[in-house]
Structure 1
Amino acid sequence: MSEPLLELRNLRKYFPLRDALGRRRGAVRAVDGVSLSVARGTVLAIVGESGCGKSTLGRLALRLIEPDVGSVLFEGEDLRALSPAALRARRRDMQLIFQDPFASLDPRMTVGAAIAEPLRLHRIIPRSGEAARVAELLERVGLRPEAARRWPHEFSGGQRQRIAIARALASNPRLVIGDEPVSALDVSVQAQVVNLLADLIRDLGLTFVLISHDLGVVRHIADRVAVMYLGSLVEEAPAEALFAAPRHPYTRALLAAVPGRGLRAPPLEGDVPSPIAPPPGCRFHTRCPHAEAICREQVPALTGEAHRAACHLQDRLPPAPPLREAEPGGERLRRLQSFFQPAGSDA
């Protein structure tokens, strides 16, 4: 494995709950002791149900949210130890693509001004070169340079997300985190934007963290996959190994839920426990069809090397059922793109 660009060590973030008088009445355990590393030039996907803490983890990695405990290392440098000025300088190397392209662009700024903003903040190029750089970025994401003079409300959702991607690339970052970057888009547009991201990752040599619940997209572009449940990491593995032989019952349940192409596995029963008071032992035991007494009493350690899982029973579980036959994710995306979007038009 190549050298880690980003390392997360035992990150924890609890959001306090207070009553009407401001007194603390508990906390939401959004991220609870997560350790991960992202190798330089690779794509790590973080997956899980809504509320599992994956978006919070992405913001902790960029220090947009301050962790309660733990370290965030970028190229071996602890971001938590940086002064505000040093952190601001570091932000040039780390960018975020937000989920909602309608909310992430300032309606009072033209597209060109929005893309040029990071160029000015970090003083990357002279003002005289901004227009050429903005035009280059727009063309790279599949839009015409004339788009720089228009306003965000004049574009479709897919076009806005392309603009948001161009803005994220403006500072030539080494790390980009995409927080559900296609979930707010129509299916046909999703296909185009995912293919665009895959091309950019390859052509620019980006290190990319994809936060997503769409396992079809994950399978298409991820090198490694980390699975979260109730704020904790339950499995991490190379993408091919995780899809072929998942070791945690929760990962199997996620794959079984993929329409038309999941594992032949029993569906989950029951509701997700409250992150305010997660169950003792393995947090998944209340929904796990294989749970035993030890699962209700002891917290499982995340064990393994290239393929890690946090399950007491991983060595005794029956073999994972095979994936249903389905066309590869990339072919599906390209087929959707060609079907829904006429050649020569932009989404």
Structure 2
Amino acid sequence: MTALLEAKGLVRHFPIRDALGRAKGAVRAVDGVSLFVYRGEVLAVVGESGCGKSTLGRLLLRLIEPDSGTLHFEGEDLRALSASALRKRRRRMQLIFQDPFGSLDPRMTVEAAIAEPLKLHGLHKGRERERVAELLSRVGLRPELARRWPHEFSGGQRQRIAIARALASEPELIIGDEPVSALDVSVQAQVVNLLAGLIKELGLTFILISHDLGVVRQVADRVAVMYLGKIVEEGAAEALFRNPRHPYTRALLAAVPGQGQKPAMLEGDIPSPVAPPSGCRFHTRCPFAQPYCREVEPELDGLTHRAACHFQDSLPPAPPLREAEPDARLRHLQSFFDRETTP
């Protein structure tokens, strides 16, 4: 099976400069990441804040340029495209931002915001208004709201509008950068349900960037775990949740509410991405670290379930997780839905 999107060895460092503009170091935000995503699947990229997952999402769309590495979409080298060719290719790749308040232009009506990609790519000429109405209905908003301004909507409604705008160009791939983390808990449930339904209905390929493992377990087919700019574990979602092979993944899963486990206590602070530790980057906080871990950096090892840990095959069994149950936040709450979609 050919991957829809494939990245190899992506690197992006952000230079740190002093008051005179002289470079004095760099933040190693993404430091050699390779991943792939197949057509029609949901890949979740998870990790603590500052691990580089949002930067990775922008690199995958070439919203920021990598320092090195390769990036292919449908077999085409995205890094070799000119600005005009990349703009055309981006019709098939869209991003949903975390902040629904900052992602919409306050000077544009909802209709103008959603119609903008239609006009840019020459889609549905002569019936843009009808298409905007269709998209609003698809995300659970009344079409007559199209002429209102962004400030007239709640956070959940704005995120629905942002989703409608992302769908306007009829993309194959959507990257959601923490698409529900800025929303109220009850509204998160509605938006996650909406995204899950759209992914299934439209056959979308989706990359979910999130720190919420409860949501990830409900919607993801595969999971990639990031730590300090690198992927430390990657595999099918259910296999990774049932049998995490990296100590960092175990600590993340143990902290998921409602699992009946005592959260793993990680010693020490998160190292700085300016000067990451030698060897395994997690060894400063790992309860299983050995002297070898400080000296040699592990590679992602395995076939369908890979982990970057020298001792992944000799670690004690991970505590079992409870069977996956529908998260209370993912249940359809009609009363909240009515309140959210009716200003």
Paired residues of 2:217 and 2:324 also in contact (CA < 8 A): no
Establish whether residue 238 from structure 1 lines up as the match of residue 233 from structure 2.
Answer: no
Letter paired with 1:223 = D
SS of 1:199's partner is helix
Paired residues of 1:269 and 1:287 also in contact (CA < 8 A): yes
Q: Distance in 1 between matches of 2:44 and 2:3?
A: 15
Partner of 2:29: 30
Q: CA deviation at 1:332?
A: 2.2
Q: Distance in 2 between matches of 1:81 and 1:262?
A: 50
Q: Distance in 2 between matches of 1:210 and 1:286?
A: 28
**For 1:138-169, what per-residue CA distance to the aligned partner results, in whole angstroms no more than 9, with x for missing partners?**
00000000111100000000000000000000
Pairs within 5 Å for 1:160-199: 160-199=158-197
**For 1:301-331, what per-residue CA distance to the aligned partner results, in whole angstroms no more than 9, with x for missing partners?**
11001000000010110011111x3661x35
Paired residues of 2:42 and 2:207 also in contact (CA < 8 A): yes
Unaligned regions of 5+ residues in structure 1, if any?
Answer: none
> TM-score scaled by structure 2?
0.97
Establish whether residue 316 from structure 1 lines up as the match of residue 314 from structure 2.
Answer: yes
What's the % identity of the aligned pairs? 73
**For 1:80-127, what per-residue CA distance to the aligned partner results, in whole angstroms no more than 9, with x for missing partners?**
00111110110100000000000000000000000000001111121x
Q: Distance in 1 between matches of 2:245 and 2:261?
A: 13
Which of 318, 341, 347 lines up with 2:336 in the alignment? 341
**For 1:244-279, what per-residue CA distance to the aligned partner results, in whole angstroms no more than 9, with x for missing partners?**
000000000000111222654532121100000000
**For 1:200-251, what per-residue CA distance to the aligned partner results, in whole angstroms no more than 9, with x for missing partners?**
0000000000000000110010000000000001000100000000000000
Aligned residues: 342
Q: Distance in 2 between matches of 1:306 and 1:346?
A: 42
Partner of 2:107: 108
Letter paired with 2:86 = L
Q: Distance in 2 between matches of 1:74 and 1:276?
A: 30
Q: Distance in 2 between matches of 1:257 and 1:294?
A: 28
Partner of 1:282: 280
Paired residues of 1:256 and 1:267 also in contact (CA < 8 A): no
Partner of 1:65: 64
* Shift in CA distance, 63/56, structure 1 to aligned 2, threshold 3 Å: same
Q: Distance in 2 between matches of 1:28 and 1:74?
A: 27
Partner of 1:56: 55
Q: Distance in 2 between matches of 1:13 and 1:213?
A: 21
SS of 1:90's partner is helix
Dislocated runs of 4+, deviation >4 Å: 262-265, 342-345
> TM-score scaled by structure 1?
0.96
Q: Distance in 1 between matches of 2:265 and 2:41?
A: 32
SS of 2:218's partner is helix
Q: Distance in 1 between matches of 2:334 and 2:194?
A: 17
**For 1:36-61, what per-residue CA distance to the aligned partner results, in whole angstroms no more than 9, with x for missing partners?**
00011000000000000000000000
* Shift in CA distance, 104/262, structure 1 to aligned 2, threshold 3 Å: farther
Letter paired with 2:66 = P
SS of 2:333's partner is helix
Partner of 1:149: 147
Superposition CA RMSD, Å = 1.4
Pairs within 5 Å for 1:9-28: 9-28=8-27
Q: CA deviation at 1:170?
A: 0.1
